[in-house]
Structure 1
């Protein structure tokens, strides 16, 4: 991985060994441990297989692949315990990111203390990463700055990088050094952002603590005047303006704005008046947002909904081709039934009812679909070897999302056309979302 400015990072490790080796050695000294966490496991990996791999490095006391208590399916991680800390450190250095059953594993020292894991101490956030950068490349870039406790690229359900990741160092100083040296540097020709990780709770607190003096009021009675609005809010502080919005004929649009001289007065008004009944109407009172803020909030809300729909169906649909002509929907279901709960099966046919030699099988769970893919791809079915793949597209064939935002008077509309294949059919998910001066419809 090419990283301009990374030479500065290299100076952090001058022990003569590799950065990874130095990090492992530092961990053994500063964080003595014999227990390793092994993540990103392929679901087919068994205890015995892990034991064979890790016992090549030193004396293994125990290996446990963690499984769902009911289904007994792998949860994708395991714990490996060694006799001594030096063997554990060597395993971390030599085996980290080694592919097992085609999937690179991710090894860390086992840290069972949830307070240290969730505190955010030593944790940094990296975004605008090239999609080719994986966990190993991220680790190799940052391990020169100090002992890494955790390192992970965020991925979508198909395993593709989302373009951001997280690195947690043992020491805050290491995290700050990485931020100082690498923030704004080019990695794989992309300028990356490296900064402190902010927990969701803290991000929400920051958002909730934004100072504002302009208040938005909706669901007003159509008889409310500017003076009545000013009188209603006036007891909370000095008001510089209060206006009920009206159409071209002078009729109330049932919402308005109140601007306070003092931000604390505005916050108190929102806290005490939101949800109150006035003239038989329940008021909504909140911070007045700028147009750009409303557009961004609406866009994020919309994209989150789309993502939830897409992720619900990703990795459960299989695409098949090279089917014998005599295989119909019922026969297809029989072939795949042993792998799990099937929600639909479909052999594709032309306008004359003749098989096209391709089809789709949709499972209820991604685990069942993956098992069917692994065992059925290339298997002889009838007179032909069957081709099986996930029925998800690459970037140009994935779910199509088109968001067009345009203005019409004081309205902002968002339209979308979201195309998704599910149950062997093309579902078109379409919606129109409108916003009017802070209102969501």
Structure 2
């Protein structure tokens, strides 16, 4: 069955995309939120502003992707995300404010990486910015082409974003931006102990932030 015939409650319309985006990057961005089954970008010459479609694995993940990524800044544009067939919500400004509060101060999301790039290569790539550790996302033994980098300060993260966005590796131009705050713990917990660069106090602070966010999400639901 074609994904384009899937139930609309799993299908997302993504508007106001930057001109240079491709379906792989779109898939990687939505992959931060959940399991992406299908992604497509419409970027023909006669299309004034590119747009696309993403199908998540279920309705709950589609709603989570909409609430998390609607208003997300992508190469200078704030994308809009809607469940297919539904009009824009009056709650978009509220979601945008909530999303802004969830961006990490020290963790970077990097995508469009060559699939041959290893986790060690990823650390080396950002070594000039004193990165503490990295997490290359690997599934079924294969790199998914994106990952996360943790920096010791917010200033170094901002400098890395400024210097490394659109940096060319082989035949690819990587994309970098702030990760979501929930990815702080994702990077920390999935790395070997000897690669961790945080002390117990910082771990406790991150755990408290995670617990507070979970409580807020439960209250909203």
Normalising by structure 2, what TM-score?
0.35
- Asked which structure has the greater CA Rg, the reply is 1
TM, length-normalised to structure 1: 0.18
Higher strand share: 1
